[in-house]
C-alpha cells in the first residue's frame, strides 16, 4: 500500500490520484515535481493499470530511467513494459515500425549531428558556394540555422534577423543549402533528429488507423518539463492523447527559458484550451529555499504579463533577507564577489556556492580574480576564460610585446595568415632572431609575400617602442585584431566581441604589463565534467536550471546584461528574461545575493558609463531584501531606508543625481571650478543651483545635477 499521507503533500496527492482526463500540473521551482511523477506511475500500476499502457515522455533518457526505477522501488515490481524515453526515441521507434508509410519502403538511416554537418558541407560544395570566401559560414552554423528554422517553425530569414543578423549577406545561399540538404536526405533515405519529430507528426495527422491504435495502447500519457516543448512536440502529444485523453503535463511556465532551442511557452499556457476539461493542479510548496528567498521570487513573478498564478511557500524559515549589493562599478564587482565567496566559504563547502550570470563572458573578471588568489572554480555554460580562442589570440599579441622570443605566441599570432603554417612560422621565427644574411633575405621575401605579416611586425614594434599602461596596449591590440576576429570567426564574432569587452574591463585595474599578462595566463585545473569538490561554481543561468546550492550570487543585474540588450527590444523576449531571473533566484537554498554595479566600463570612451539597474531589481519592494552599497573605502555598508536606484540612474541630464556614498572634501558652495566624482570622473562646475546642489559638465556624460557632498574639489 502506498503511503500518500506521509510521502506527499495535499497538492501532490491530488496530482497523483487524478488519473482520468487531462491534467496540468504547474510545478513551482523546488516543489517535488519528480516525486509527483514517480508516485503517479506507482499509483496507476497499483490501481491495476497495465504498465504497457503507460507512456512517459521526458527530455533526457536518464530522467525517464530514473523515474521508472524509483516507481519500481515503491511498488517492489518491474515496470519494464512501460514505455519511457525522450520524444526523439519514441518517434524513432514508431517510425521504424511504419517506415513504408512515410515513404521509406526499405527503411531509413538516422544521422547524428556530425553526419548532418558533413552533408551541409557537401551540398554547399556541390553548389559551388563560398569558394575562396574565408568568412563563409561553417558547416555547423549552416546546420544550426536550418535546425533552428525547423524547430521554431519560422523561415530562415526570420531566424537570421533575430539571432544572426551579421550573416544576412549569406541568406540566399543558406536557403539553397537548406533545400539541397532536404533533397539529399530524401534521395538517400536519411533522417536527422528534427525529421523524427516532423515525420511522426505528419504520420499521426494523416494515418487515422495508426493514431487510433496508439491512443488505444497508451491510455495514460505523462509529459515532463512541458514548458520546454516546441510546437511539433505539443502536436504529437495531442495526436497521442486526443482532446479528452488521460494526459498529464507537468511543468512550470515560469521556468520556460529555452526559446532559443525552439521551446514555446504557449504550449503550457494554452494546454487547458487545447485539452477540454483540463484540471489544473498547482504545486506551490517549496522544499528547497527558505521563505525570504521565496518572498523575493514571488515578487519577480508578479511582474509577468502572461502566467499561471502561483505563490511559493516553504516551511524553511530564516531571519536573513536576500541582499541587493550595489558595487560602484563592474570593475569593483569582481573583488566584492570574491570577498563574499570567502565569507560564504566559512559556512559552506565551496561547491555549495554558485555565481550565476546571463552570458558566459560576464564571469571573465571573476575568473581572473579567483585564479589570482588561488580559489578553485568550475564553470558550466559558456567557455572558460582561458579556453576562449579569441582571448588566446589577443593574449598572444600582448605576450609578443613583452617577449619577442615567445615561439608559441608567434604560432598563434600568425595562424590567421594564409599560407603561413607551423613550419613556416618556425622558419620566420629563426630568421627574425638569427641575424644571418640568408635569414634577412628570407624575411624580406616573406614580408613582401605576406602583407599581414608586415602589418603584424610593424604594430608589435610600435607597441614595444612606447611605455604604455596595459589598458592602452590592449586597446591598440584590439583595434588591430578586430578585422582578424571578423575574418577568423565569421559565424559568431559579435558574441566573441562581448568577451573582449570584458578583457578591456579587466585591463583597467592593472598598471604593469607583466602582472596583467601573468594573471591572465594562469590557468586552473582542466575542466572536469563531474562536479568538483570544494570548488566554487560559476554558471550561466541556463546551465544552472535543475540545480541548487546553499548560497547563490547573481552578478551584472543591469540593463543590457540581465536582461540582455537584445531582449529589451521584444516584449516576449523580456518576459523570458524575467523567467530566467526567477530560475536563477530559485537555485538558492539559504542565501541569495544580487549584484547591481553602478557603472560599466566603456572601452570606446575609456570611462565608466552609468547603468540602469535591471527592471527585475527595481520592481522589488524594499521589504524583501537588504540593500548594501559599496563605500569609497571598498567595504559594504547597509542601507535600511526604502529602495532607491543607485546614483548613475538618477544622475541623468538635468536631473538630480546623488551618488551612493559621499566623497571628501565636500564641495564649497562659494567656489566654482573643476571637481571629481567617483562615477563620472573629472568635471567642470557650471553653476550652483541651491545651497548644496551644482550643475556639472562631465566629458562623455554631459550635464549632471549633483549634490555637493558627492563632489571632490580639484
Q: In this predicted model, what pLDDT tens digit does every residue of 498-509 receive, in sequence order? A: 888 888 888 887
d(CA 538, CA 384): 10
φ, ψ for residue 511, nearest 5 deg: -115, -20
Q: 194 has which bridge partners?
A: none
d(CA 341, CA 349): 10
Over 18-85, what HEC string results? CCCCCEEEEECCCCCHHHHHHHHHHHHHHCCCCHHHEEEEECCHHHHHHHHHHHHHHHCCCCCCCEEE
Span 567-610, pLDDT tens digits = 877 788 889 999 999 999 999 999 999 999 999 887 777 777 88
Query: Is 34 marked as binding a ligand?
Result: yes
* 3-state SS assignment for residue 691: coil
Half-sphere exposure of 671 (CA within 13 A, CB side): 11
Does 147 score more than 70 pLDDT? yes
Query: Is 30 marked as binding a ligand?
Result: yes
In 397-458, which ranges are E strands? Answer: none
- State mean pLDDT over 450-460: 88
- State mean pLDDT over 654-676: 48
Q: Which band of pLDDT confidence, cut at 50, 70 and 90, is reported for residue 444?
A: confident
DSSP 492: T
Least confident span in 185-189, 470-474, 552-556, 650-654: 650-654
d(CA 111, CA 98): 18
Tell me the CATH architecture of domain 386-509: Orthogonal Bundle (1.10)
Closest CA to 315 of 345, 284, 339, 337: 284
CATH topology of domain 10-95+196-285: Rossmann fold (3.40.50)
Rg (CA), the chain: 29
Per-residue model confidence (pLDDT) at position 1: 66
DSSP 642: S
- State mean pLDDT over 322-346: 93
Spatial contact of 7 and 39, defined as CB atoms under 8 Å apart: yes
Cell matching residue 558:
543591469
Cell matching residue 70:
524509483
Spatial contact of 233 and 197, defined as CB atoms under 8 Å apart: yes
Closest CA to 243 of 269, 218, 278, 270: 278
Does 655 score more than 60 pLDDT? no
The better pLDDT of the pair 655, 177 is held by 177
**pTM confidence score:** 0.79
Closest CA to 592 of 640, 542, 544: 544
Q: 703 has which bridge partners?
A: 697
d(CA 334, CA 330): 7
Spatial contact of 351 and 537, defined as CB atoms under 8 Å apart: yes
What lies within 8 Å, CB to CB, of 709 at 6+ separation is 662, 663, 666, 667, 692
Does 698 score more than 50 pLDDT? yes
Per-residue model confidence (pLDDT) at position 654: 32
In 487-559, which ranges are E strands? Answer: 536-540, 549-554
Query: Is 31 marked as binding a ligand?
Result: yes
Give whole-number Cα distances, 69 to 73, 217, 452, in Å.
Answer: 6, 22, 61
Tell me the CATH architecture of domain 323-376+524-638: 3-Layer(aba) Sandwich (3.40)
Give the DSSP letter string of 340-378: HHHHHTTTS-GGGEEEEESSGGGGHHHHHHHHHHT--EE
d(CA 128, CA 703): 57
* 3-state SS assignment for residue 469: coil
Does 650 score more than 70 pLDDT? no
Q: 591 has which bridge partners?
A: 551
What lies within 8 Å, CB to CB, of 576 at 6+ separation is 256, 257, 259, 265, 567
Does 663 score more than 60 pLDDT? no
* 3-state SS assignment for residue 335: helix
φ, ψ for residue 389, nearest 5 deg: -60, -40
Q: Which band of pLDDT confidence, cut at 50, 70 and 90, is reported for residue 660?
A: very low
Per-residue model confidence (pLDDT) at position 664: 37
d(CA 65, CA 133): 47
d(CA 394, CA 261): 31
Amino acid at each position: 500500500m502506498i503511503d500518500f499521507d506521509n510521502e506527499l503533500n495535499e497538492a501532490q496527492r491530488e496530482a497523483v490520484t487524478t488519473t482520468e482526463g487531462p491534467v496540468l500540473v504547474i510545478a513551482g521551482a523546488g516543489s517535488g515535481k519528480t516525486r509527483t511523477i514517480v508516485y503517479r506511475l506507482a499509483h496507476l500500476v497499483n490501481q491495476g493499470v497495465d504498465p504497457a499502457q503507460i507512456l512517459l515522455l521526458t527530455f533526457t533518457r536518464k530522467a525517464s530511467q530514473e523515474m521508472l526505477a524509483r516507481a519500481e522501488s515503491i511498488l517492489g515490481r518491474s515496470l519494464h513494459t512501460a514505455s519511457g524515453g525522450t520524444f526523439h526515441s519514441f518517434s524513432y521507434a514508431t517510425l521504424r515500425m511504419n517506415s513504408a508509410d512515410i515513404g521509406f519502403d526499405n527503411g531509413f538511416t538516422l544521422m547524428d549531428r556530425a553526419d548532418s554537418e558533413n552533408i551541409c558541407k557537401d551540398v554547399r560544395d556541390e553548389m559551388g558556394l563560398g569558394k575562396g570566401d574565408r568568412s563563409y559560414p561553417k558547416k555547423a552554423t549552416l546546420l544550426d540555422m536550418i535546425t533552428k528554422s525547423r524547430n521554431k517553425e519560422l523561415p530562415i530569414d526570420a531566424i537570421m534577423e533575430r539571432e544572426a543578423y551579421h550573416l544576412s549577406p549569406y541568406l540566399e545561399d543558406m536557403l539553397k543549402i537548406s533545400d539541397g540538404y532536404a533533397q539529399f536526405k530524401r534521395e538517400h533515405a536519411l533522417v536527422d533528429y528534427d525529421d523524427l519529430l516532423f515525420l511522426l507528426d505528419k504520420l499521426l495527422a494523416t494515418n487515422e488507423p495508426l493514431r487510433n491504435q496508439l491512443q488505444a495502447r497508451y491510455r495514460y500519457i505523462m509529459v515532463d518539463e512541458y514548458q520546454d516543448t516546441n510546437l511539433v512536440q505539443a502536436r504529437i502529444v495531442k495526436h497521442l492523447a486526443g482532446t479528452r485523453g488521460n494526459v498529464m503535463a507537468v511543468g512550470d511556465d515560469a521556468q520556460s527559458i529555452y526559446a532559443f532551442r525552439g521551446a514555446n511557452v504557449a504550449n503550457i499556457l494554452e494546454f487547458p484550451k487545447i485539452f477540454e476539461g483540463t484540471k489544473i493542479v498547482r504545486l506551490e510548496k517549496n522544499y528547497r529555499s527558505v521563505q525570504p528567498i521565496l518572498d523575493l521570487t514571488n515578487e519577480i513573478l508578479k511582474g509577468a504579463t502572461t502566467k499561471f498564478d502561483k505563490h511559493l511557500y516553504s516551511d524553511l524559515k530564516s531571519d536573513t533577507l536576500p541582499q541587493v549589493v550595489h558595487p560602484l562599478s563592474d570593475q569593483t564587482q569582481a573583488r566584492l564577489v570574491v570577498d563574499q565567496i570567502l565569507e560564504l566559504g566559512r559556512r559552506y563547502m565551496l561547491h555549495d556556492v554558485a555565481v550565476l550570470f546571463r552570458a558566459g563572458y560576464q564571469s571573465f573578471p571573476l575568473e581572473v580574480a579567483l585564479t589570482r588568489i588561488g580559489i578553485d572554480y568550475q564553470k558550466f555554460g559558456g567557455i572558460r576564460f582561458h579556453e576562449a580562442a579569441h582571448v588566446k589570440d589577443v593574449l598572444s599579441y600582448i605576450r609578443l610585446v613583452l617577449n619577442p622570443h615567445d615561439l608559441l605566441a608567434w604560432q598563434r599570432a600568425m595562424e590567421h595568415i594564409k599560407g603561413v603554417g607551423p613550419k613556416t612560422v618556425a622558419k620566420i621565427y629563426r630568421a627574425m632572431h638569427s641575424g644571418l644574411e640568408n635569414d634577412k633575405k628570407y624575411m624580406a621575401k616573406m614580408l613582401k609575400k605576406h602583407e599581414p605579416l608586415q602589418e603584424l611586425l610593424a604594430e608589435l614594434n610600435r607597441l614595444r617602442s612606447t611605455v604604455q599602461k596595459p589598458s592602452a596596449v590592449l586597446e591598440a591590440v584590439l583595434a588591430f585584431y578586430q578585422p582578424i576576429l571578423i575574418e577568423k570567426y565569421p559565424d559568431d564574432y559579435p558574441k566573441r566581441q562581448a568577451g573582449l569587452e570584458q578583457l578591456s574591463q579587466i585591463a583597467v585595474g592593472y598598471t604593469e604589463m607583466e602582472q596583467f599578462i601573468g594573471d591572465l595566463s594562469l590557468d586552473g585545473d582542466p575542466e572536469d565534467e563531474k562536479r568538483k569538490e570544494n570548488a566554487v561554481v560559476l554558471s550561466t543561468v541556463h546551465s544552472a536550471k535543475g540545480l541548487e546550492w546553499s548560497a547563490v550570487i547573481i552578478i551584472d543585474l543591469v540593463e543590457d546584461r540581465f536582461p540582455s540588450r537584445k531582449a529589451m527590444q521584444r516584449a516576449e523576449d523580456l518576459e523570458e528574461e524575467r523567467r530566467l531571473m526567477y530560475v536563477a533566484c530559485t537555485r538558492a537554498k539559504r542565501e541569495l545575493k544580487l549584484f547591481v554595479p553602478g557603472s560599466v566600463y566603456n572601452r570606446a570612451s575609456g570611462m565608466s558609463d552609468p547603468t540602469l539597474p535591471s527592471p527585475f531589481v527595481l520592481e522589488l519592494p524594499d521589504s524583501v531584501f537588504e540593500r548594501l552599497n559599496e563605500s569609497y573605502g571598498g567595504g559594504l555598508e547597509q542601507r535600511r531606508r526604502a529602495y532607491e536606484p543607485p546614483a548613475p540612474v538618477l544622475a541623468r541630464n538635468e536631473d538630480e543625481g546623488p551618488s551612493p556614498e559621499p566623497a571628501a572634501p565636500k564641495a564649497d558652495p562659494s567656489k566654482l571650478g573643476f571637481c571629481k566624482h567617483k562615477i563620472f570622473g573629472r568635471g567642470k562646475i557650471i553653476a550652483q543651483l541651491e545651497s548644496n546642489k551644482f550643475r556639472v559638465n562631465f566629458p562623455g556624460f554631459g550635464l549632471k545635477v549633483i549634490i555637493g557632498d558627492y563632489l571632490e574639489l580639484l
